[in-house]
Amino acid sequence: MDYLSTRGQSKAASLQEALEAGLAPDGGLYMPQHLPRLSAGGFADCRTAADVAARLLNPFFSKSALQEKLQGIVRETYSFPLGLVPLSGESGARVLELFHGPTAAFKDFGARFLAASLQQLARNAVTTRTILVATSGDTGGAVAAAFHGRPAFRVVVLFPNERVSRRQVKQLACWGGNVRALAVNGSFDDCQRLVKTAFAMSAADPGWQLGSANSINIGRLLPQCAYYAYASLKVWRETGAKAGFVVPTGNMGNAFACLMTRAMGLPIGPVVLATNANQTIGKYLESGRFEPAPAIQTLATAMDVGNPSNMERYRYMEQQAGFGAAGISVFSIDDQAIARQIVADFDAYGRVHCPHTATASCAWHSLPRAARQERPWVLVSTAHAAKFETTVEPLIGRKIELPVALAELENQPVQYSIIENDFTALRDALASGE
């Protein structure tokens, strides 16, 4: 399988090249040259999520240097449980829990898959590659956890000093070993700007040996398709119906994986996108005009995106057959509604949602009753509520117990350096790293 840039100005890349580069040379995002056609029957002997992932991803690995390694990569990625649990007895809705990984958010899947893949590719490398990421929340922790203890890499995580919660700092700065955390005296946008400058420098001077793990990397997207396949097959086997999916959406990465999986032929019905108050995606689907806007801050912070980068993939695929806006709808959920839904679902079902998951629940509850009853629905839960305890605990009036993985991080000492918001400071910090 070859990978093409959405902008069509770069030559086709192998899987290996697409994984290592992240972004195509023309500034576009890589997409598989074509989507394989699959059907539920082709997965009849697959039981676990790892089985499904290996089968689903095989065509994307065909003829690549990694083809023989796919089984191992998939087992490393899907080494923790995927929950698919009823929201309540009567509702017929299920919650797809993607938060049982090391940092309790769905980004663990993409980060672990990318790390395992890049590690296979780096086996004969003599130099260490530096994975540089800017983060305002879940990405940095997931990437740090995924690359921690892999000696072919070092990870440098940039986060805005004093603008990240205490618990989030833990998840970024507790790792030690080959992971370093840098607190930048600036905003998240400043962190991103520093990372972009570093990548521009390294494009001119390969001596930098930088690697990217951000969410536009095709290696983050592919493994996400597998849990949609797994969940849809499970519902299909149980009920004979195509499940509808409700997906919390910010940068359109997780939701795009769901649409891609449906386009491959897996038994997925309507897809409902749940955004927070940031409405770039909703407005595009309504008007056909893509108009990025400054991000609005909301309770669902990981979805505070005004210029969703994966929309470039969506718009590219829209021109292909079978990928139009049919069977897609969008609900924009404001902070008040998020807060109300967290309280309502706790009262009604005893479930504690993170604010992102609450957007999905709210969108689902906003569907007409007939649509809700017409088929089974899967509400995608993107993070454990304990990651957003400062928002959720006051709403439900009690403490949220930490999942084991996060509780372990909680007891680790943190260590990070503070740097000024300028490129020289970053360059010096990178050069001084061991």
- Contact between 70 and 38 under an 8 Å Cβ cutoff? The reply is no
Closest among 199, 200, 226 to 213, alpha carbons compared: 199
Angle between helical axes of 311-318 and 280-287 (0-180°, round to 10): 20
CA distance 77 to 92: 29
Residue 339 vs 354, nearer CB to ligand PLP: 354
Residue 76 vs 108, nearer CB to ligand PLP: 108
Q: Is 251 exposed, middle or buried (0-12, 13-18, 19+ CB in 10 A)?
A: buried
Nearby residues of 128 by Cβ (< 8 Å), 6 or more positions away: 151, 152, 153, 154, 209
Rule CB under 6 A: which of 297-316 touch ligand PLP? 302-303
Strand boundaries in 276-402, DSSP class E? 328-332, 377-381
From the CB of 98, what's the least distance to ligand PLP, in Å? 9
From the CB of 302, what's the least distance to ligand PLP, in Å? 3
CA 110 from chain centre, in angstroms, equals 6
Q: Is 252 in the site for ligand PLP (CB under 6 A)?
A: yes
CA 116 from chain centre, in angstroms, equals 16
For residue 20, give the amino acid letter: E
Residue 122 vs 146, nearer CB to ligand PLP: 146
Q: How many residues bind ligand PLP (CB under 6 A)?
A: 17
Residue 246 vs 426, nearer CB to ligand PLP: 246
Q: Is 136 in the site for ligand PLP (CB under 6 A)?
A: no
3-class SS at 199?
helix
Give strand pairing partners of 133.
Answer: 157
CA 99 from chain centre, in angstroms, equals 11
Residue 210 vs 257, nearer CB to ligand PLP: 257
Among the listed residues 32, 140, 186, 250, the single contact to ligand PLP using CB under 6 A: 250
From the CB of 408, what's the least distance to ligand PLP, in Å? 20
For residue 276, give the amino acid letter: N
Angle between helical axes of 311-318 and 253-263 (0-180°, round to 10): 30
CA distance 345 to 332: 18
From the CB of 383, what's the least distance to ligand PLP, in Å? 3
From the CB of 381, what's the least distance to ligand PLP, in Å? 9
- Contact between 247 and 378 under an 8 Å Cβ cutoff? The reply is no
From the CB of 20, what's the least distance to ligand PLP, in Å? 21
Residue 121 vs 270, nearer CB to ligand PLP: 270
Residue 180 vs 384, nearer CB to ligand PLP: 384
Identify which range of 25-33, 43-51, 247-255, 417-425 contacts ligand PLP by CB under 6 A. 247-255
- Contact between 273 and 330 under an 8 Å Cβ cutoff? The reply is yes
Among the listed residues 69, 107, 313, 365, the single contact to ligand PLP using CB under 6 A: 107
From the CB of 141, what's the least distance to ligand PLP, in Å? 10
Q: Is 103 in the site for ligand PLP (CB under 6 A)?
A: no
Residue 115 vs 257, nearer CB to ligand PLP: 257
Q: Is 108 in the site for ligand PLP (CB under 6 A)?
A: no
The 10 Å Cβ neighbour count of residue 363 is: 25
Q: Is 254 in the site for ligand PLP (CB under 6 A)?
A: yes
Closest among 202, 212, 269, 260 to 235, alpha carbons compared: 269
Rule CB under 6 A: which of 374-393 touch ligand PLP? 382-383
142 φ, ψ (degrees, to nearest 5):
-65, -40
Residue 50 vs 142, nearer CB to ligand PLP: 142
For residue 127, give the amino acid letter: T
Identify which range of 148-156, 190-198, 246-254, 325-333 contacts ligand PLP by CB under 6 A. 246-254
Among the listed residues 51, 76, 97, 138, the single contact to ligand PLP using CB under 6 A: 138
Angle, alpha carbons 410-413-418 (nearest 5°):
115
From the CB of 101, what's the least distance to ligand PLP, in Å? 11
Nearby residues of 274 by Cβ (< 8 Å), 6 or more positions away: 246, 247, 248, 249, 330, 331, 333, 359, 360, 362, 363
Q: Is 248 in the site for ligand PLP (CB under 6 A)?
A: yes
Identify which range of 1-9, 252-260, 314-322, 368-376 contacts ligand PLP by CB under 6 A. 252-260
Identify which range of 37-45, 249-257, 264-272, 314-322 contacts ligand PLP by CB under 6 A. 249-257
Residue 339 structure tokens? 């807060």
Among the listed residues 66, 105, 146, 174, the single contact to ligand PLP using CB under 6 A: 105
Instruction: Summarize as ranges the residues that interact with ligand PLP (CB under 6 A).
Output: 105, 107, 138, 248-255, 302-303, 354, 356, 382-383
